[in-house]
Structure 1
Amino acid sequence: MGLPEDRERFRAVGESRREDLTEFISHGDLGGSGPHQVRIPIKIVDLPSFEYDQREVGGVGQAEGGQPQPGQPVNPQPDEGDEAGDPGEEGGDHEYYEMDPEEFAEELDEELGLDLEPKGKRVVEEVEGAFTDTARAGPKGSLDVDELFKRGLKRHLATDFDEDYVREGLFVDGAGVDEVFTWARESHIPVSRAWIADAAGEIETERGEPIESVARWPDFETLEADVDRESVGERIRREGLDTIPFRREDERFRHPEVIEQHERNVVVVNIRDASGSMRETKRELVERVFTPIDWYLTGKYDAAEFHYVVHDAEAWEVDREEFFGIQSGGGTRISSAYERVEEILESYPFSEWNRYVFAAGDSENAGADTQQNVIPLMRSIDANLHGYVETQPGGKTKNARHADEVEQALGDAGNVAVARVTGPEDVTDAIYEILSTEESDE
């Protein structure tokens, strides 16, 4: 086994020792990753290597000062206090297992048993498919000969009839052209009155006497009982088919099917309570839930855009770097954030964009704001999924009612998920609760 194989073997060993994905989400350092690259720390085994001594030395096998004398050490010993080799000064080397959001989403699906299927929304391109569509006009080279033949044959079969059988109707006692035409129509024979009149004229010419004076049958019922009517199919099988009369309206020209390709795109609005009650521990739990969901949706969709809104009694939009760290001393009015969400989503029509609205906080809200404002706003904002994450380390406080009220009012809506996180051990369960709700949405 050569050095390249050894290196790959050491690398495989290192990757197998990376932090478990759920453990990384719950307890790992999420800050080392970016929006498009997830970096999971691993302990890498030092890879063996050879190095040349760059110092100017004597010939091969010679130490400083020339050839060593018997009993003299070959390698000079470091002086007392030499810093080289002092033990315990550095920790073990760490590297990172790096994955893009697509790989992260795939692995999270496996870890949590998820299988979210993104929906295509906005049409980004129209492409030509197979020549399966037809039109009445087109280049001669695209004429659909099969379709032309089928249409001509269909008309021929629909308009053909047993001419000898109809002529016999002219030999019914007292029957003229009008009577024969009425009888033919009642018998579902597709013959025109003009054809019957022409046939009557031919018979009169041959006989030299009016058609009414020639009689073979006392009535039409006797004719039908004594004369067999031959079907079109029987006659074609017997005589074959010499020609099929085609018409211009039978022509159909083949065109490629126009296929609309839809981009699987998503806009995500993340909301966080920044009021004075949201201490560092609560903010960290929000980050541990929202960050993996952002990675997951980035990996699932072709295009993903994110907006971040924080609020106390008022709401304002921030960038991602500020989102998890901001804290204010103000009160809490959650509806202010949803009012801001409405403004943001005006630029993302629901007919063209998948839309997710995720909010998090400690479930404390001012007065009746949840019932009177937030719940109506959630109902009016079209979204694939509304999620709320309650972060209450150590248990719920008396004023933490928002999650319960949302769940009670909208729990059966089909696109609303409520999750509760009291510590890092609840994070992956909360992520599953939110994303599995979208999975079952129709």
Structure 2
Amino acid sequence: MGRRDDLDRFREVGEERRQDLSEFIQYGDLGASGPDSVNVPIKIVDLPEFAYDPRDMGGVGQGQGGTPDVGDPVGEPEPQPGDGDDDGEDGEPGEEGGDHEYYEMDPEEFAAELDEELGLDLDPKGKKVIEETEGDFTDITRSGPASTLDFERLFKQGLKRKLAMDFDEEYLKAALKVDGWGPATVFEWARDQNIPVSRAWIDDAYASMPADERSKWDSIEEMTDDVDRESTATRIRREGVDEVPFRREDERYRYPEIIEEREKNVVVVNIRDVSGSMRESKRELVERTFTPLDWYLTGKYDNAEFVYIAHDADAWEVDREEFFGIRSGGGTRISSAYELASEILEAEYPWSEWNRYVFAAGDSENSSNDTENNVIPLMESIPANLHAYVETQPSGNAINATHAQELESHFEDDNVAVAYIEGPGDVLDAIETVLSAEQ
């Protein structure tokens, strides 16, 4: 086993010791990750390496000054920081943290692990058709190229007709030999016996029969006692099938099933209250909730795009870096964010082509009657896979923080999720509440 094998083994050990996913989401350092890679801290075991004993660093042939002069001390090492110093400023045991590296997972792996952690399995919906391919020849039509004619089906249809039209000719000819019976009587009798014979065939058979044979039996009962009726199956086994009666209406042509490949596109609109009441602790809870949701949906869809909207009394679009850190001193009018979200979605992300998720977060404080008069109608007018609001109130509900409760009361049975977070320990439950609400 070489040193490279040792390195791989130590890395495996480190990956086994990476931070638990739920702990990472609630308390870990999310800032070390990017939009497309999730870096979960792991404790890496120090690799073994060769090192000289400090006591052997001096001596003849090892000093930095070359050959020692006469009278210089030999074999006594220079004092090293932390080697027995009593001032405690260097090398104090336990003062330095262990070396950390990161276990890097892509959003797909993160989404799979979060599904397992929360017992979820979101099935992304395809929207825009990007390609149509031909599958197996499983469908049929009444017309098509000769090369696609379904001969097996054609033969089966013809054979079914053959069996349905077949009858025991000798048995019918025997009935024509009953004294006093003619073609009309035999035809009526054959219909009663469910024998599929035509009147024309009976007329021809009777005409070709010698006159002295037309009175062989005195009654039909006598004939049926003397002559056994042979089944079609028995006759086919003995004689085979000379011809199968095909008809144009039996023709069917195979054509391939058309398979539509749909691209699974998603746009996630993240809305955050940045008013003066949204202090640092509240902002951190928003980041701990929205960041894993972004990773999760990125991992679930083929193409994920994100829109970040900040608002106080007004709303404006920001980039991701600004979104979690920005703070304003203004008031709060949540409907301004939904007005902007509606404009952006209709202009750039049509519902027919994009899955939509609209997530908002804040401390539930809103201007008077804005939730009932404006926000709720706007949410109802924006088609989306899921709307969600996450209330972040580290100190519990404020007296005027009623936005989340109003939404929860109004959208009780609709595809809208409302979650409440008072601290990092509530984050995972909030994420589960949001993701499990999609119907």
Q: Please give the TM-score of this superposition, normalised by the length of structure 2.
A: 0.80
Distance, in Å, in 2 between the alignment partners of 1:226 and 1:373 is: 95
Residue 207 of structure 1: aligned partner: 211
Residues 388, 403 of structure 1: 8 Å contact kept: yes
Amino acid at match of 2:25: I
**Partner residue of 1:123 out of 101, 126, 129:** 129
TM-fit CA distance, 1:26: 1.6
Distance, in Å, in 1 between the alignment partners of 2:203 and 2:337 is: 85
What does the per-residue CA deviation read over 1:282-327, in whole Å, with 9 as the maximum and x for residues that have no partner? Answer: 1221111010011011112222222222233333332222222233
TM-fit CA distance, 1:135: 4.4
Q: CA 1:176 to 1:405, structure 2 compared with 1: closer, same or farther past 3 Å?
A: farther
Residue 113 of structure 2: aligned partner: 107
Give % identity.
66
Residues 62, 68 of structure 1: 8 Å contact kept: no
TM-fit CA distance, 1:431: 0.8
TM-fit CA distance, 1:182: 5.9
Q: CA 1:176 to 1:312, structure 2 compared with 1: closer, same or farther past 3 Å?
A: farther
Distance, in Å, in 2 between the alignment partners of 1:402 and 1:20 is: 33
Residues 334, 366 of structure 2: 8 Å contact kept: yes
Residues 68, 74 of structure 1: 8 Å contact kept: no
Residues 174, 215 of structure 1: 8 Å contact kept: no
1:36 is the counterpart of 2:36: yes
Question: Which aligned pairs between 1:251-330 and structure 2 lie closer than 5 A?
Answer: 251-330=251-330
Distance, in Å, in 2 between the alignment partners of 1:311 and 1:221 is: 100
Question: Which aligned pairs between 1:31-110 and structure 2 lie closer than 5 A?
Answer: 31-49=31-49, 61=61, 63=63, 64-66=65-67, 72-74=73-75, 77=78, 87=90, 91-92=96-97, 93-110=99-116
Amino acid at match of 1:207: A
Give unmatched runs, 5+ long, in structure 2. 53-59, 82-88
Distance, in Å, in 1 between the alignment partners of 2:180 and 2:352 is: 72
Residue 152 of structure 1: aligned partner: 158
1:161 is the counterpart of 2:167: yes
TM-fit CA distance, 1:391: 0.9
Residue 333 of structure 1: aligned partner: 333
Q: Tell which deviates more after alignment, 286-295 or 266-275.
A: 266-275
Distance, in Å, in 2 between the alignment partners of 1:331 and 1:300 is: 36
Residue 373 of structure 2: aligned partner: 372
Number of residue pairs aligned between Structure 1 and Structure 2: 420
Distance, in Å, in 2 between the alignment partners of 1:79 and 1:287 is: 45
- RMSD of the TM alignment (CA)? 3.8
TM-fit CA distance, 1:39: 1.6
Q: CA 1:226 to 1:281, structure 2 compared with 1: closer, same or farther past 3 Å?
A: farther
Question: Which aligned pairs between 1:214-229 and structure 2 lie closer than 5 A?
Answer: none
TM-fit CA distance, 1:178: 6.3
Q: CA 1:106 to 1:192, structure 2 compared with 1: closer, same or farther past 3 Å?
A: same
Distance, in Å, in 2 between the alignment partners of 1:179 and 1:369 is: 92
Residue 433 of structure 1: aligned partner: 433
Residue 4 of structure 2: aligned partner: 4
Residue 24 of structure 1: aligned partner: 24
Distance, in Å, in 1 between the alignment partners of 2:161 and 2:69 is: 113
SS at match of 2:159: helix
SS at match of 2:437: helix
Distance, in Å, in 1 between the alignment partners of 2:358 and 2:101 is: 35
SS at match of 1:127: strand
TM-fit CA distance, 1:91: 5.0
Residue 55 of structure 2: aligned partner: none
Residue 344 of structure 2: aligned partner: 344
SS at match of 2:290: helix
SS at match of 1:117: coil
Distance, in Å, in 2 between the alignment partners of 1:187 and 1:371 is: 79
What does the per-residue CA deviation read over 1:155-180, in whole Å, with 9 as the maximum and x for residues that have no partner? Answer: 21122233344456666788776676
Distance, in Å, in 2 between the alignment partners of 1:388 and 1:426 is: 14
Amino acid at match of 2:380: R
Q: CA 1:193 to 1:368, structure 2 compared with 1: closer, same or farther past 3 Å?
A: farther
Residues 311, 332 of structure 1: 8 Å contact kept: yes
What does the per-residue CA deviation read over 1:304-362, in whole Å, with 9 as the maximum and x for residues that have no partner? Answer: 22222223333333222222223333333323333333333335454543322211111
Residue 138 of structure 2: aligned partner: 132
What does the per-residue CA deviation read over 1:220-276, in whole Å, with 9 as the maximum and x for residues that have no partner? Answer: 999889976544334324443333234455444544433333333322222222333
Q: CA 1:65 to 1:366, structure 2 compared with 1: closer, same or farther past 3 Å?
A: closer
Distance, in Å, in 1 between the alignment partners of 2:330 and 2:180 is: 107
Question: Which aligned pairs between 1:370-409 and structure 2 lie closer than 5 A?
Answer: 370-409=371-410
TM-fit CA distance, 1:98: 1.5
SS at match of 1:376: helix
